[in-house]
Structure 1
Amino acid sequence: MASAESLPETFRYTEARRLGLSDRALRRLLAEGAVERVSRGLYRRTDGEQDVDLGLLEVAHRVPDATLCLVSALSRHGLTDQIPASVDVAIPRDRRVPRIESPVTWHHFARETFCVGRRSEPLGAGEEIGIYSAERCIVDMFRLRHREGAEPAVEALRAWLGRKGSKPAELMAVAHEFPPSVTPLRNALEILL
């Protein structure tokens, strides 16, 4: 019979069964507090790193190419004071939205530009999720200002410009991947610079 130590830090029910853990043993580990339930069919050992956002962990396991975007990503980059009620997550336009227990707002982005400015963000305990760069987030806020509002876009741009090492040319290079954002972003840069 498998013990909690023989399981990966985060694991699915099917993975635990494949490793020889019975339903009864899983229930016992849950009752003892050796394992905690993250979401339906997803579990985590409690002896690992404790500072892990379980909601993001669920998203990362259910959708491997999920990417933090818009206000949620701006918040992680320190470019906004807004705290979104749900996590903004981008997925490719052709991907189906999974069932998630965590509060998530899904955004479908075009597959051809999906990876522009995308990198990995560590969640702790060896887990990671995709996140867009600060530049891509600002461009997306300007591109989607009709939905997200113009003020958060300008606020993020102002905060980004105030950082040491920010390069407007790099920002505009990202904007050129998304033509509708170029003119409003250029206008805002002319006003703020």
Structure 2
Amino acid sequence: MRAFELRHLGIDATTISRAVERGDLVRVARGLYQKSDGQVDGEQALAEASRLVPKGVIAMLSALAYHGVTDQMPRKVWLAIGSKDWAPKVSYPPVHFVRLGANYLNQGIEHHMISGVSVPIYGVAKTLADIFRHPKLIDRSMAIDSLRQTLTNRKATAAQIAEAAKSGRVWKTVQPYLEAMTSNG
């Protein structure tokens, strides 16, 4: 929980500090606390980043890794925020911000429970469109490999990927790869 949520429940800062000293709570990051006996997921960094940046959506490499369509494990949590949103300083977990326009920011969001937190994460098709849309951030070969793994593991259909690519305005880039991977020839 975030510190302000604990204060909203009537727990003051002194009580929070005492709970940390006793070992009842663990201070994960500034203003972020977890019960000492709380369940820890492998993706807990995603939940922590989501709590610290409430307007953020797990995106790009972090979303690909969460959905299991890349072999790479990102060193930072990739978070999409609005083009004019404030990007807070986050000491832990390390965060890489990607700025998206308001109309594109709210497309393709799914909510997944991680460590008891509802975390907004972009769906596979939307994430693929994003990585093809930002070739300076993510290498094209990785985008192609993720597209291949998505189709092989049936994480999204070719139609869903095509729809996301069209709404993300990268259909002309994605189309030849998608056609090559789905042709029966």
TM-score > 0.5 by shorter chain? yes
After TM superposition, list the pairs within 5 Å mapping 1:143-158 onto structure 2.
Answer: 143-158=133-148
Deviations 1:133-160 (A, max 9, x none): 0001111111112331100110011011
Q: Which residue of 1 aligns with 2:132?
A: 142
Q: 1:66 to 1:45 in 2, by over 3 A?
A: same
Question: For the residues of structure 2 that align with 1:142 and 1:22, how far apart are their CA atoms?
Answer: 45
- Please, which of 119, 122, 130 is the counterpart of residue 113 of structure 2? 122
Maintained 8 Å contact 2:77/2:95? yes
Deviations 1:55-82 (A, max 9, x none): 3333222322211111110011110000
Q: Which residue of 2 aligns with 1:112?
A: 103
Could you tell me how far 1:45 is from its partner in structure 2? 2.0
Q: Does 1:175 align with 2:175?
A: no
Aligned length: 181
RMSD of aligned C-alpha atoms?
A: 2.1
Maintained 8 Å contact 1:64/1:129? no
Q: 1:140 to 1:19 in 2, by over 3 A?
A: same
Q: 1:52 to 1:33 in 2, by over 3 A?
A: farther
What TM-score do you get using the length of structure 2 for normalisation? 0.87
Maintained 8 Å contact 1:13/1:42? no
After TM superposition, list the pairs within 5 Å mapping 1:49-128 onto structure 2.
Answer: 49-51=39-41, 53-101=43-91, 102-125=93-116, 127-128=117-118
Structure 1: gaps (5+ residues): 1-9
Q: Which residue of 2 aligns with 1:192?
A: 181
Maintained 8 Å contact 1:120/1:131? yes
What TM-score do you get using the length of structure 1 for normalisation? 0.84
Could you tell me how far 1:114 is from its partner in structure 2? 1.0
Deviating more after overlay: 113-122 vs 60-69: 60-69
Equivalent AA in structure 2 for residue 46 of structure 1: S
Deviations 1:86-110 (A, max 9, x none): 1111111111101111211000011
Structure 2: gaps (5+ residues): none
Equivalent AA in structure 1 for residue 172 of structure 2: T
Question: For the residues of structure 2 that align with 1:142 and 1:89, how far apart are their CA atoms?
Answer: 17
The 3-state SS of whatever aligns with 1:145 is: coil
Among all aligned residue pairs of Structure 1 and Structure 2, give the percentage whose two residues are the same amino acid: 24
Deviating more after overlay: 31-40 vs 44-53: 44-53
